[in-house]
Amino acid sequence: MVFSTTLTQQVMGHTSVVSGRVESQLIAHDKEVYDIAFSRAGSGRDMFASVGADGSVRMFDIRNLKHSTIIYEDLNHAPLLRLAWNKQDTNYLATFAVDSVEVIILDLRVPCTPVARLNSHRAYVNGLAWAPHSSCHLCTASEDCQALIWDIQSMPRAIEDPILAYTAAGEINQIQWSSTQPDWIAICYNSAMEILRV
């Protein structure tokens, strides 16, 4: 049987594609769920994590849906808006809160404690994408009109500045790093989309 995962407020459901029925519901977050990301560990289909308005990152294993693991909880319970799983090293996740200029890097081997905080944006962060070909590169996008590429290989030392920066003609709303052409990053702002060569 083939399954897909759907998110409705704080309830995550496991839905059968064949019948369209909800097979099971996962109630883990205390408030709305905002984003979900699958890990590429193992087969790439068993582990996923979610973030939401309760300020937590929770990890699930589809093979055992009776519980979830809290990977991180924001001290101020600030809602976490987006989540991205490192495509090369599945120990690392990146997330950021609503109305925040900071991106948080998490290591599953050190739960509940960020291993890095990226703070060079001057306005709210809107998106992030890990490099498909490198375990230590992350691109973040913000309302400050900047797309920043970070090199995190120096962790646990503090990461002060990005290694590359691009300034768009408007507030960047979303970013994607091409998995088939890793030299290309796409950004969207206003009514425009730009393809950037790294």
Q: Which sequence spans correspond to the domains of the chain?
A: 3-197
> Rounded to 5 degrees, what angle do the CA atoms 23, 25, 29 make?
160
d(CA 117, CA 83): 14
Give Cβ neighbours of residue 15 (< 8 Å, ≥ 6 apart).
3, 4, 5, 6, 21, 22, 23
Confidence band for 28, pLDDT divided at 50, 70 and 90: confident
3-state secondary structure string across 117-174: EECCCCCCEEEEEECCCCCCEEEEEECCCEEEEEECCCCCCCCCCCCEEEECCCCEEE
Q: Which of 1, 103, 93, 15 is nearest to 48 (CA)?
A: 93
- Average pLDDT for 108-135: 96
What is the pLDDT at residue 44? 67
Q: Give the up-direction half-sphere exposure of residue 160: CA atoms within 13 A in the CB hemisphere.
A: 0
pLDDT band per the 50, 70, 90 thresholds, residue 65: confident
- In this prediction, residue 3 carries a pLDDT of 38
Contact 102, 117 (CB under 8 A): yes
Per-residue pLDDT tens digits for 82-111:
999 999 999 999 999 999 999 999 999 999
Q: Return the pLDDT at 80.
A: 97
* % residues pLDDT > 70 (the chain): 86
CATH code of 3-197, in short, is 2.130.10.10
Task: Answer for the pair 84, 130: CB distance below 8 angstroms, yes or no.
Answer: yes
Structure tokens at 13: 């459901």
Interval 60-69 mean pLDDT? 83
Record the pTM. Answer: 0.85
Predicted pLDDT at 120: 96
Amino acid at 121: H
pLDDT value of residue 7:
47
pLDDT at 30: 79
Q: Are 33 and 12 in contact (CB under 8 A)?
A: yes
Across 148-159, average pLDDT: 91
The larger pLDDT score, comparing residue 126 to residue 18, is at 126
Whether residue 16 has pLDDT greater than 60: no
Q: Average of pLDDT values for 170-181? A: 97
Q: What is the structure's pLDDT at 112?
A: 93
